[in-house]
Amino acid sequence: MAELLTKAKDQVVEALSQATAAVSLGAPSDAVYVDEAAGDDQAGDGSQGKPFKTVLGAFISRASDTINVYVRQAAAEGEAQGSYAAATASAKKKATKLLQQHRNKLAKDEERRKREEVEGEARRAAELKKLDDAKAIVIDEPKEDSTKIKVRQAVEQRGKRVRVFGWVHRLRQQGGMTFVVLRDGTGYLQCVLSGRLSQTYDALTLTLESTVQITGVINQLPEGKTAPDGHELTADWFSVVGKAPGGDEAFLNKVNEDADPSQLADARHLVIRGENASAVLKVRAALLSSFRESYINLGLLEVTPPCMVQTQVEGGSTLFGFDYYGQEAYLTQSSQLYLETCLPSLGDVFCVQESFRAEKSHTRRHLSEYTHVEAELAFLTFKDLLEHIEELICQTIDRVLADPKIKELIDFLWGGKGKFEAPSRPFMRMDYREAIAWLNEHNITRPGEDGVEGQHVVGDDIAEAAERKMTDMIGRPIFLINFPKEIKSFYMSRIPGDEGFTESVDLLMPNVGEIVGGSMRMNDLDELLEAYKTEGISPDPYYWYTDQRKYGTCPHGGYGLGLERLLAWLLNRYTVRECSLYPRWTGRCTP
């Protein structure tokens, strides 16, 4: 109760003091208040509680310079706040001048807005009329003969009348002409539509990614002018085959460099139309045919093993399983075991097959599905195997680089960031135990079990980061060989006399790390049966693999190469995801 009384008393005192202040100022009831320190021209309303900041603000709000303005004075000594006094004549005069300037500016702004509105309408009307008139321009196709060509044939067809089909890759209207860079997958061709051709409705409303056919003559460009292949097609006719949308649905609104990565992944089907992505895919194709040519030169035969299998090769943790007519089956991790079965019937063999790994890790070098180039060779030593891998890689890369068109794409993809250097032979050979010592000498640590970083020890499965650091520091291809048996696959043969280690190899490349994994295979039946046991896998589904050791065993070895990893190295790509047509990784199976 006492509290309530005190509060009521305070309110009365406050009201009285305000009334007194107003009375003592003699301010009229329509007075507008300004507080240059605490007021606000936008949020204020001119009351004592919400004063304006400037006299001009008060004038603008009341649209008049004849109002009664009261300005808060500086506080006198002992006063918490100064009281209000009528604005001085000079302050009012200055504000009147500013008000006039403000009004002039508003009038000018309004005038400009109206002018722009009228001009805008006129422009729109003119555009509509132009489009309407354009509909009336009908250009018949000239009767003259033409040769249907792909863009890649353009150079040899210069000077003749040709017909090309393709997608509008770039588009520019300039000086009454329409410049189209046409793309058909085999190249880019600049086409120029001029005169009435560029005034047609189709030319005026053309959009990126529309499909068109264009006829005309291809002419070499004079010195100083640039276009793909140094020539351009002077069109005499064109027609739209399929129009792509403009506005919100326009291609560049779906695919652009600033888009979020997951949006770009969803739009991969459109992204591959771009110059970078399509260049990667073209080099990929060249690389694949170069691999095949190298294999033919080296005397290996291509086979196509199945993708649906009932055996694991590289451990159960990365298997994709599925129900196969009521039986358990998997997507293949590697075709190795099948390749081994071909040796007695076909000799040395290779395959280019998709492999699948249920990788939980989101690294830049792992995919859930990748293209696996694998080979298997009979009657050879581990040394022979390493030399074969070296020969295969060098021959394949040299051939790719010898193709000027492909070399141009590789240089384009490296951009300004250096240049691809073909590896020189021999590749460095480094024993696993040497690598452990090298890592420790260079203070490249590994995370310990308790999370504390520590020195590497023999037996460690060298982590990706450490391996990459070492490879980047050495800066050349490394054959890392002779891994401990515990960290490698069950089928790898042991080093004679050093049974804790295997005749195994990982080929490491700068910037990417491991691109090849291979080994000699156990060829002794009992040793293999023992290895199944150690691995904890039943020998039953492997009967056909085991039979290789029964019906004429032989020393043999092979390897698998991840095509996307090799491409990432060759094309200086940040991730293997850029090197696959439709990459799959954890959680991503579209498009």
Name the token pair of 272.
């591959």
Closest distance between ligand 4AD and the C-beta of residue 500, in Å?
20
- CB of 477 or CB of 560, closer to ligand 4AD: 560
DSSP count for the chain of H helices, then E strands:
16, 24
- CB of 96 or CB of 546, closer to ligand 4AD: 546
- CB of 52 or CB of 350, closer to ligand 4AD: 350
- Sign of the torsion angle spanned by Cα atoms 404, 409, 415, 418: negative
Q: Given the structure tokens 């990893």, which residue do they identify?
A: 565
User: How many residues appear in the chain?
Assistant: 591
Closest distance between ligand 4AD and the C-beta of residue 560, in Å?
3
Closest distance between ligand 4AD and the C-beta of residue 330, in Å?
13
Q: What is the DSSP letter of 523?
A: -
Give me the DSSP letters along 90-147: HHHHHHHHHHHHHHHHHHHHHHHHHHHHHHHHHHHHHHHHHHHHHHH---PPP-S--E
H-helix or E-strand spanning residue 181: strand 177-183
Closest distance between ligand 4AD and the C-beta of residue 349, in Å?
11
Residue 511 CA neighbour count, 13 Å, CB half: 14
Closest distance between ligand 4AD and the C-beta of residue 555, in Å?
15
Give, in order, the Cα–Cα distances in Å from 546 to each of 272, 374, 491, 535: 44, 20, 11, 15
- CB of 57 or CB of 517, closer to ligand 4AD: 517
Closest distance between ligand 4AD and the C-beta of residue 531, in Å?
14
- CB of 236 or CB of 506, closer to ligand 4AD: 506
- CB of 52 or CB of 542, closer to ligand 4AD: 542
- What is the radius of gyration, based on Cα positions, of the chain? 39
Which residue from 222, 151, 215, 226 is spatially nearest to 182, judged by alpha carbons?
Answer: 151
* Residue type for position 542: Y
Closest distance between ligand 4AD and the C-beta of residue 341, in Å?
13
> Cα-flanking dihedrals φ and ψ of residue 149, to 5°?
-130, 160
Name the token pair of 555.
């020393």
- CB of 313 or CB of 319, closer to ligand 4AD: 313
- CB of 166 or CB of 558, closer to ligand 4AD: 558
Which residue from 59, 146, 147 is spatially nearest to 98, judged by alpha carbons?
Answer: 59
Number of other CB atoms surrounding residue 316 within 10 Å: 13
Evaluate whether 291 touches 352 at the Cβ level (below 8 Å): yes
- CB of 494 or CB of 565, closer to ligand 4AD: 565
- CB of 406 or CB of 576, closer to ligand 4AD: 576
- CB of 235 or CB of 280, closer to ligand 4AD: 280
Closest distance between ligand 4AD and the C-beta of residue 322, in Å?
18
Name the token pair of 60.
């603008």
Which residue from 413, 407, 365 is spatially nearest to 572, judged by alpha carbons?
Answer: 413
Report helix angle 563-571 to 404-414, nearest 10. 70
From CA 519, how far away is CA 481, in angstroms rounded?
Answer: 9
- CB of 374 or CB of 467, closer to ligand 4AD: 374
Closest distance between ligand 4AD and the C-beta of residue 566, in Å?
8
Closest distance between ligand 4AD and the C-beta of residue 360, in Å?
10
Closest distance between ligand 4AD and the C-beta of residue 376, in Å?
7
From CA 521, how far away is CA 493, in angstroms rounded?
Answer: 5
Give me the DSSP letters along 314-338: S-GGG-EEEEETTEEEEE-S-SHHH
Name the token pair of 199.
């005034």
Closest distance between ligand 4AD and the C-beta of residue 443, in Å?
27
- CB of 302 or CB of 403, closer to ligand 4AD: 302
Evaluate whether 188 touches 182 at the Cβ level (below 8 Å): yes
- Reading phi first (left if > 0) and then psi (alpha if -120 to 50, else beta), residue 325 is in left
Give me the residues that bind ligand 4AD (CB under 6 A), please: 313-314, 333-334, 336, 357, 359, 366-367, 370, 372, 374, 514-518, 558-562, 564-565, 576
Closest distance between ligand 4AD and the C-beta of residue 355, in Å?
7
